[in-house]
Amino acid sequence: MCVSTAAAEFSGTILYGGRRRHPVHGLIEVVGYQNTAVNLHTGPNAMLLHLPARALTPGQFVPVGRHGDVLTRMVDAVRPVPAGGIDWMGSDEPSRVQVFEHDVYTVLLADDPTLIPAALHRVPPRRRPPLRTDLLEFYADAYPGHVMAVCCFDNADARRAKPLLLWYEPTDPDRIVLPALDCHTGAPPDLDRPVPTDHWILFGLDDAGDDWGEPVEYPGALRHELREFLPRAVLGTEFTAPLPNGDFAVAVDDLRAGRLNVERVR
């Protein structure tokens, strides 16, 4: 469940989306993403995530430190829940592209995907991926108003990276939408072809009742700066069957009522 700039395999994906009111940042959406990546390309590679954010900076990527299991702990909280009952309803402007290091990735952030090639020289050569123009044009056309995160990597062997955890001001007050397009060839995703799935989808809220969801057991040593972005409890399910290509979304009102009415949106 990812788009890559060249041939790759991604497995064991965990995708989390939560809505919460942070004591400093106010109402925010928190997204967590983790998988095992195998680079099948002879050179560097990257995965692309389109994020429905008004703006995004490197400071909004939350370091998990030694707590690289925060998302797997959420999966452990919901794993016993049956999976049934789900209702399917080119200019050179590098200053506008932010480049920074995060875990095994060199990340490029841009609100206009077509500006990314001009900033690729800022990525270390060992991680500098090929980028097809038609792939970036696809995102520019299909996802205006989104921030593009290009996470560059060079690990040729399967490796369990620490989770990407980031927050932003939600653009849709009524829904949580999680990026889930799938294509591992470097070409634009084919929205008319079903794709295989192998991942957990998790959601969290901080304004639901005490009996809402499945409680997540975090380690007692979890630092306060990280805990402020994590849910007390989650709802979620595992997907293993082929699905139409697209993103996942759930209405906040349904989620607050305990209804996991997941919609596949394109």
pLDDT one-digit tens code per residue, 219-263: 988 999 999 999 999 999 999 999 999 999 999 999 999 999 999
Give residue 181's pLDDT band: very low, low, confident or very high (50, 70, 90). very high
Is pLDDT at 149 greater than 90 in this prediction? Answer: yes
What percent of the chain has a predicted confidence (pLDDT) above 90?
A: 73
Give the neighbor-by-neighbor strand order of the sheet with 147-153. Answer: 3-4, 45-51, 147-153, 105-110, 97-102
Provide the pLDDT for residue 39.
82
pLDDT one-digit tens code per residue, 31-72: 999 988 888 888 899 999 999 998 999 999 999 998 989 999
Q: Give the separation between CA 105 and CA 127, rounded to whole angstroms.
A: 8
55 in Cβ contact with 150 (< 8 Å)? no
Burial label for 30, CB within 10 Å (0-12, 13-18, 19+), is buried
Q: What value, to the nearest 5°, has the Cα angle with vertex 185 and ends 72 and 39?
A: 55
Tokens read off for 118: 């001009």
Provide the pLDDT for residue 90.
37
Lowest mean pLDDT segment, chosen from 84-98, 99-113, 235-249: 84-98
Average pLDDT, the chain: 89
Provide the pLDDT for residue 2.
83
Provide the pLDDT for residue 80.
61
Provide the pLDDT for residue 156.
56
Provide the pLDDT for residue 84.
39
Q: Give the separation between CA 183 and CA 185, rounded to whole angstroms.
A: 6
Delimit the domains of the chain by residue range. 3-265
Q: What is the mean pLDDT of residues 118-123?
A: 94
pTM of the predicted protein model: 0.88
Provide the pLDDT for residue 123.
94
